[in-house]
Structure 1
Amino acid sequence: MLELPGQGKGVILIVDDSKMNQQILSAMLKDIAEIHCADHGEEGVMMAQALHPNVILLDVEMPGMNGYEVCRVLKQKPSFDSAIMFVTSHTSEEHEIRALKEGAVDFITKPFKYEIVKARVSAHLMLNMQNHFLRNLVNHDGLTGVFNRRHFDEMIEQEWRRHLRAQASLALAMIDVDFFKLYNDSLGHQAGDDCLKAVAKCLSKSSRRPGEIVTRYGGEEFAIILPTTTGDEALKFGQWLCEQFAQLALPHPARPDGVPIVTVSIGLSATVPSLLTQAQTLIRCADHALYQSKEMGRNCATFGLFGD
């Protein structure tokens, strides 16, 4: 199977209402990727969102939602980056042009020719995996492995626009490690780095819903974008997050307040975006709430009303 360091093996999703086509394509491609199959367009959309496949082999003619409709729906998803290859019995230039206009990277025709199918799919599979690998390098923090500030800036604007269209509540949590400088000064920078890695791991494990984005905002500060989350839900999440660090019980020997473990202070805010507001205001409100948590003695979560 095709693999890249840190990426694992490639994933291919076959969306076709013909079981025979599924079996033929699976047999042709099973030695280059992990294969999954969907029987119709609606199932294909759900599986694509769950699996994040590198390549989708999408039948054009299907009952219900056809291949072009599936392609359009998937292309509207913010995080969608799979390579779509249409599977069709049509060989005319008109169908080829339409496939490319709909966003496909290529197409394969029926009846299937083993060498051509395998060569074309392999090429797009490897290209997509390489693109994922490079994006990970650009968008992830080298120390902690979570997303970096660059990715946060992109995603908060993207999620803001998406929630504006849906008129749904978007929330943000800003998290700061309490007394981190004292931790660094007393135990050394290597221990400080290990502490930040442990914090990032705890935040990642605690972010369980699809779409929640954990980022290192800078230094010992982290941020979590919380899609479709109300203010009440955000505050409960922040309080629960503080409990997770209490359970983590990472020793902190240099705190002036006598608390023996590493804790975090959290500021949260939430709003339904409008054309008269912007994402930067959400960040500013959550950041202000974070400073309120610090002033209240740390190791707590505070919710800041949007616009305050």
Structure 2
Amino acid sequence: MNVVESQKVLIADDDAVNRDVLGDLLKPEYTVLLARNGVQTLERAMRHAPDLILLDVMMPDMDGYEVLRQLRADPQTAQIAVIFISGLDRPEDEANGLKMGASDYIVKPFNPTVVMARVALHLQVVRQRRMLERLANIDGLTELANRRRFDEMYALEWQRARRTGRPLSLALLDIDAFKQYNDRYGHPAGDRALRSVARVAGAAMRRPADLAARYGGEELVLLMPETEAHDARMVAAAMCEAVAQLMIAHEASSVAPVLTVSVGGATLTADSIEQQYELFESADAQLYRAKQAGRNRIAWRGDAS
């Protein structure tokens, strides 16, 4: 399935004929969702996150202007593209819709060719915007999330942990003797080794909310929401073993003949500390502890080892 076919269009119109005509027009190329009033539109926008909404202005319970206002007021729906389709054909009506944040305005009775062309145009813009957003959040070397993305997700998960009272686990991973590796094998080889470790870290993050990111240099960070210390430590241990099993020769290392990593982690509930940075500082302290103990090991807040 290509990208265009997977995009979702929500058609919101109280007139069943209009819904059917637009739906039949768009279904060959897009996933079509239907809503017959403002309340359904808001509910389905929240639930299905459509790429585009074709929104009738005149609906009985809540007009399209109010629907658009509520969409823009909610962070979950604020970025959804909206095209007004309306029988109101005065220039001031169109100007009002565009000022409120609509992407376009189509006057009824609509021309099917025009509707298809404008839908395709705005969905292309959506695809391009999302591609740029993705690139802005990806580290170019490792293809993991970058520092910016990690900071955003960490702040969100911290707030969620405070609401739910569930634990939040965070681990910092550092490649052992990486400077010596670069000195011995060269920076291109160092980049390849870092990418290999990054692939292992990314594969270890199996749940949708888990995140592996490059924090800086050869340091990676793992974010594991709603994960108890024992489970998070097991994930880290499996990852360390997987890195060693890559069997990347490291003759300049005093730790092992192959590339290894050290991990420091912490698991805390959000109400046990006052500020979100304290969890990160705790994991960083544990990483220092792992390095001081000889590297190629894990230290976790609360561990006796």
| Pairing 1:5-20 to 2, within 5 Å after superposition | 11-15=6-10, 20=20
Q: 1:82 to 1:249 in 2, by over 3 A?
A: farther
Partner of 1:142: 140
Q: 1:153 to 1:44 in 2, by over 3 A?
A: closer
Determine helix, strand or coil for the equivalent of 1:115.
Answer: helix
Query: Which of the residues 31, 37, 58 maps onto 1:36?
Result: 31
Contact 2:213 2:222 in 1 (8 A): yes
Q: Amino acid of the residue matched to residue 277 of structure 1?
A: E
| Displacement of 1:219 | 0.7
Q: 1:105 to 1:204 in 2, by over 3 A?
A: farther
Partner of 1:197: 195
Q: 1:44 to 1:131 in 2, by over 3 A?
A: closer
Determine helix, strand or coil for the equivalent of 1:215.
Answer: strand
Once the two structures are superposed, what CA deviation does each residue of 1:56-90 show, in whole Å capped at 9, x if it has no partner? Answer: 336788xxxxx959x8699454xx78524367778
Alpha-carbon RMSD: 4.0
Query: Which of the residues 269, 276, 297 maps onto 2:266?
Result: 269
Partner of 1:178: 176
Query: Which of the residues 246, 249, 271 maps onto 1:248?
Result: 246
Give the greater-gyration-radius structure (CA): 2
| Displacement of 1:217 | 0.7
Partner of 2:280: 283
Q: Amino acid of the residue matched to residue 123 of structure 2?
A: L
How many residue pairs match? The answer is 282
Partner of 2:290: 293
Once the two structures are superposed, what CA deviation does each residue of 1:212-250 show, in whole Å capped at 9, x if it has no partner? Answer: 222111110011222222323222221222232233333
Once the two structures are superposed, what CA deviation does each residue of 1:1-22 show, in whole Å capped at 9, x if it has no partner? Answer: 9x9xxxx668411346989454
Partner of 2:228: 230
Aligned equivalents of 2:103, 2:273: Cα separation in 1? 38
Give the stretch that moved more between structures: 246-255 or 141-150: 246-255
Partner of 2:119: 121
Q: 1:22 to 1:225 in 2, by over 3 A?
A: farther
Aligned equivalents of 1:195, 1:59: Cα separation in 2? 51
Q: Amino acid of the residue matched to residue 254 of structure 2?
A: P
Contact 2:52 2:123 in 1 (8 A): no
Please, which runs of 5 or more residues in structure 1 have no aligned partner?
62-66
Aligned equivalents of 1:243, 1:13: Cα separation in 2? 42
Aligned equivalents of 2:259, 2:73: Cα separation in 1? 42
Aligned equivalents of 1:241, 1:112: Cα separation in 2? 57
| Displacement of 1:158 | 2.7
Aligned equivalents of 2:298, 2:98: Cα separation in 1? 50
1:56 aligns with 2:52: yes
Q: What is the TM-score when the length of structure 2 is the normalising length?
A: 0.73
